[in-house]
Protein backbone atom coordinates (compact mmCIF):
# COMPACT_ATOMS: atom_id res chain seq x y z
CA UNK A 1 0.00 0.00 0.00
CA UNK A 2 1.26 3.41 -0.95
CA UNK A 3 0.76 5.79 1.89
CA UNK A 4 1.45 9.44 1.22
CA UNK A 5 4.78 10.45 2.61
CA UNK A 6 5.07 13.81 4.25
CA UNK A 7 7.59 16.00 2.47
CA UNK A 8 10.77 16.87 4.30
CA UNK A 9 11.23 20.42 5.47
CA UNK A 10 12.30 22.57 2.56
CA UNK A 11 11.12 20.23 -0.18
CA UNK A 12 7.62 21.66 -0.62
CA UNK A 13 6.69 22.17 -4.24
CA UNK A 14 4.78 25.19 -5.40
CA UNK A 15 2.04 25.12 -7.98
CA UNK A 16 3.33 25.66 -11.49
CA UNK A 17 1.20 28.79 -12.04
CA UNK A 18 3.02 30.68 -9.23
CA UNK A 19 5.41 33.34 -10.46
CA UNK A 20 8.28 35.16 -8.79
CA UNK A 21 7.01 37.87 -6.50
CA UNK A 22 8.26 41.39 -6.96
CA UNK A 23 8.52 43.81 -4.04
CA UNK A 24 5.37 45.81 -3.57
CA UNK A 25 5.56 49.52 -4.26
CA UNK A 26 4.37 51.48 -1.28
CA UNK A 27 2.31 54.43 -2.39
CA UNK A 28 1.16 57.07 0.01
CA UNK A 29 -2.15 58.67 -0.61
CA UNK A 30 -1.68 62.38 -1.26
CA UNK A 31 -2.50 64.58 1.72
CA UNK A 32 -4.85 67.53 1.40
CA UNK A 33 -2.86 70.75 0.82
CA UNK A 34 -3.38 72.19 4.33
CA UNK A 35 -2.28 68.93 6.01
CA UNK A 36 0.77 68.56 3.74
CA UNK A 37 1.79 72.14 4.56
CA UNK A 38 1.34 71.55 8.30
CA UNK A 39 3.33 68.30 8.14
CA UNK A 40 6.19 70.12 6.39
CA UNK A 41 6.14 72.91 9.00
CA UNK A 42 6.21 70.37 11.84
CA UNK A 43 9.09 68.49 10.25
CA UNK A 44 11.14 71.69 9.86
CA UNK A 45 10.32 72.80 13.43
CA UNK A 46 11.52 69.46 14.82
CA UNK A 47 14.84 69.51 12.98
CA UNK A 48 17.83 70.77 14.95
CA UNK A 49 19.12 74.12 13.68
CA UNK A 50 22.44 72.69 12.53
CA UNK A 51 21.00 69.65 10.73
CA UNK A 52 19.99 71.69 7.69
CA UNK A 53 22.15 73.90 5.57
CA UNK A 54 21.09 77.42 6.35
CA UNK A 55 22.63 80.80 6.75
CA UNK A 56 23.01 82.41 10.13
CA UNK A 57 20.33 84.95 9.18
CA UNK A 58 17.88 82.18 8.23
CA UNK A 59 18.41 80.57 11.63
CA UNK A 60 17.68 83.88 13.35
CA UNK A 61 14.59 84.47 11.21
CA UNK A 62 13.33 81.02 12.14
CA UNK A 63 13.24 82.01 15.82
CA UNK A 64 12.01 85.52 14.98
CA UNK A 65 15.19 87.42 15.89
CA UNK A 66 16.98 90.22 14.11
CA UNK A 67 20.75 90.48 13.99
CA UNK A 68 20.70 93.40 16.42
CA UNK A 69 18.57 91.43 18.90
CA UNK A 70 20.93 88.47 18.55
CA UNK A 71 23.89 90.77 19.19
CA UNK A 72 22.26 92.10 22.36
CA UNK A 73 21.54 88.55 23.62
CA UNK A 74 25.10 87.42 22.89
CA UNK A 75 26.66 90.50 24.54
CA UNK A 76 24.44 90.12 27.62
CA UNK A 77 25.23 86.44 28.03
CA UNK A 78 28.95 86.89 27.53
CA UNK A 79 29.25 89.88 29.88
CA UNK A 80 26.81 88.77 32.64
CA UNK A 81 27.33 85.02 32.43
CA UNK A 82 23.63 84.50 31.72
CA UNK A 83 20.76 85.85 29.64
CA UNK A 84 17.22 86.13 30.99
CA UNK A 85 13.82 86.74 29.38
CA UNK A 86 10.30 87.25 30.70
CA UNK A 87 7.25 85.58 29.19
CA UNK A 88 3.58 85.56 30.01
CA UNK A 89 1.79 82.43 31.16
CA UNK A 90 -1.78 83.60 31.48
CA UNK A 91 -1.60 86.55 33.84
CA UNK A 92 1.68 85.38 35.40
CA UNK A 93 5.09 86.57 34.32
CA UNK A 94 7.68 83.83 34.12
CA UNK A 95 11.41 84.55 33.86
CA UNK A 96 13.66 82.04 32.15
CA UNK A 97 17.43 82.19 32.01
CA UNK A 98 20.23 80.33 30.34
CA UNK A 99 21.63 77.32 32.15
CA UNK A 100 25.21 76.77 33.32
CA UNK A 101 27.42 73.85 32.46
CA UNK A 102 26.96 72.51 36.00
CA UNK A 103 23.24 72.17 35.20
CA UNK A 104 24.11 69.91 32.26
CA UNK A 105 26.38 67.79 34.44
CA UNK A 106 23.70 67.53 37.14
CA UNK A 107 21.20 66.18 34.62
CA UNK A 108 23.76 63.70 33.26
CA UNK A 109 24.59 62.45 36.76
CA UNK A 110 20.90 61.96 37.47
CA UNK A 111 20.44 59.96 34.26
CA UNK A 112 23.42 57.77 35.18
CA UNK A 113 22.08 57.18 38.69
CA UNK A 114 18.46 56.53 37.76
CA UNK A 115 19.24 54.55 34.61
CA UNK A 116 15.82 55.08 33.02
CA UNK A 117 14.72 52.22 30.78
CA UNK A 118 12.56 54.12 28.30
CA UNK A 119 13.20 57.17 26.11
CA UNK A 120 10.08 58.78 27.56
CA UNK A 121 11.61 58.57 31.03
CA UNK A 122 14.88 60.10 29.83
CA UNK A 123 12.96 62.96 28.20
CA UNK A 124 10.92 63.57 31.35
CA UNK A 125 14.02 63.77 33.57
CA UNK A 126 15.74 66.14 31.15
CA UNK A 127 12.62 68.32 30.88
CA UNK A 128 12.27 68.49 34.66
CA UNK A 129 15.93 69.34 35.23
CA UNK A 130 16.10 71.86 32.38
CA UNK A 131 13.01 73.75 33.54
CA UNK A 132 14.20 73.74 37.16
CA UNK A 133 17.64 75.02 36.13
CA UNK A 134 16.14 77.69 33.82
CA UNK A 135 13.29 79.22 35.80
CA UNK A 136 14.25 82.30 37.81
CA UNK A 137 10.79 83.69 38.61
CA UNK A 138 7.22 82.42 38.53
CA UNK A 139 4.78 85.25 39.23
CA UNK A 140 5.59 86.65 42.67
CA UNK A 141 7.92 83.74 43.47
CA UNK A 142 11.47 84.83 42.69
CA UNK A 143 14.22 82.24 42.94
CA UNK A 144 17.37 83.87 44.24
CA UNK A 145 20.73 82.33 43.42
CA UNK A 146 22.41 81.40 46.67
CA UNK A 147 25.90 80.46 47.74
CA UNK A 148 24.85 76.83 47.40
CA UNK A 149 23.69 76.31 43.78
CA UNK A 150 22.51 72.75 44.51
CA UNK A 151 20.23 73.96 47.30
CA UNK A 152 18.83 76.69 45.01
CA UNK A 153 18.22 74.09 42.29
CA UNK A 154 16.42 71.77 44.72
CA UNK A 155 14.14 74.60 45.83
CA UNK A 156 13.16 75.32 42.21
CA UNK A 157 12.68 71.62 41.49
CA UNK A 158 10.50 71.16 44.60
CA UNK A 159 8.43 74.18 43.54
CA UNK A 160 7.90 72.78 40.03
CA UNK A 161 6.90 69.36 41.33
CA UNK A 162 3.90 70.94 43.07
CA UNK A 163 2.57 72.62 39.91
CA UNK A 164 -0.25 71.12 37.82
CA UNK A 165 1.05 68.91 35.00
CA UNK A 166 -0.29 71.16 32.24
CA UNK A 167 1.44 74.20 33.75
CA UNK A 168 4.73 72.32 33.88
CA UNK A 169 4.22 71.30 30.25
CA UNK A 170 3.75 74.96 29.25
CA UNK A 171 6.89 75.92 31.16
CA UNK A 172 8.79 73.17 29.37
CA UNK A 173 7.59 74.52 26.00
CA UNK A 174 8.79 78.00 27.02
CA UNK A 175 12.23 76.66 27.96
CA UNK A 176 12.43 74.67 24.71
CA UNK A 177 11.67 77.77 22.59
CA UNK A 178 14.08 79.82 24.66
CA UNK A 179 16.83 77.22 24.08
CA UNK A 180 16.15 77.29 20.33
CA UNK A 181 16.57 81.06 20.37
CA UNK A 182 19.88 80.88 22.27
CA UNK A 183 21.14 78.12 19.97
CA UNK A 184 20.29 80.26 16.93
CA UNK A 185 22.19 83.23 18.39
CA UNK A 186 25.31 81.12 18.95
CA UNK A 187 24.98 78.95 15.80
CA UNK A 188 27.81 78.49 13.35
CA UNK A 189 28.10 81.50 11.14
CA UNK A 190 27.60 84.11 13.85
CA UNK A 191 29.79 87.07 12.95
CA UNK A 192 33.01 87.00 14.98
CA UNK A 193 32.95 90.74 15.60
CA UNK A 194 29.41 90.51 16.83
Which helix (H) or strand (E) element contains residue 180? helix 165-185
N-to-C CA span, the chain:
97
Q: What is the pLDDT of residues 113-172, one digit of tens each?
A: 999 999 999 999 999 999 999 999 999 999 987 778 899 999 999 999 999 999 999 999
Q: Provide the pLDDT for residue 19.
A: 72
Q: How far apart are CA 171 and CA 128, in angstroms?
A: 10
Burial class (CB in 10 A: 0-12, 13-18, 19+), 151: exposed
Q: Provide the pLDDT for residue 40.
A: 59
Kindly indicate the confidence band of residue 23, based on its pLDDT and cuts at 50, 70 and 90.
confident
Which helix (H) or strand (E) element contains residue 141? strand 141-142
Q: What is the pLDDT of residues 101-113, one digit of tens each?
A: 999 999 999 999 9
Kindly indicate the confidence band of residue 179, based on its pLDDT and cuts at 50, 70 and 90.
very high
Q: Does residue 5 carry a pLDDT above 70? A: no
User: Does the pTM of the predicted model rise above 0.85?
Assistant: no
Q: Provide the pLDDT for residue 190.
A: 75
Q: For the chain, how many residues are written?
A: 194
Q: What is the pLDDT of residues 69-108, one digit of tens each?
A: 999 999 999 999 999 999 999 999 999 999 999 999 999 9
**Domain residue ranges of the chain, discontinuous segments joined by +:** 50-185
Q: Higher pLDDT residue, 193 or 129?
A: 129
Amino acid sequence: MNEPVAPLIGTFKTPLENKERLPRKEEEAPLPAELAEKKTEEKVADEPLKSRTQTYEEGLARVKLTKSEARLIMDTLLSNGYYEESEKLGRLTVKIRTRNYQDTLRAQRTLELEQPQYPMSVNEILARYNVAASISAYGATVFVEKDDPEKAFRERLDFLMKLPGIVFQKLHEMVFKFDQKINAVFADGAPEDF
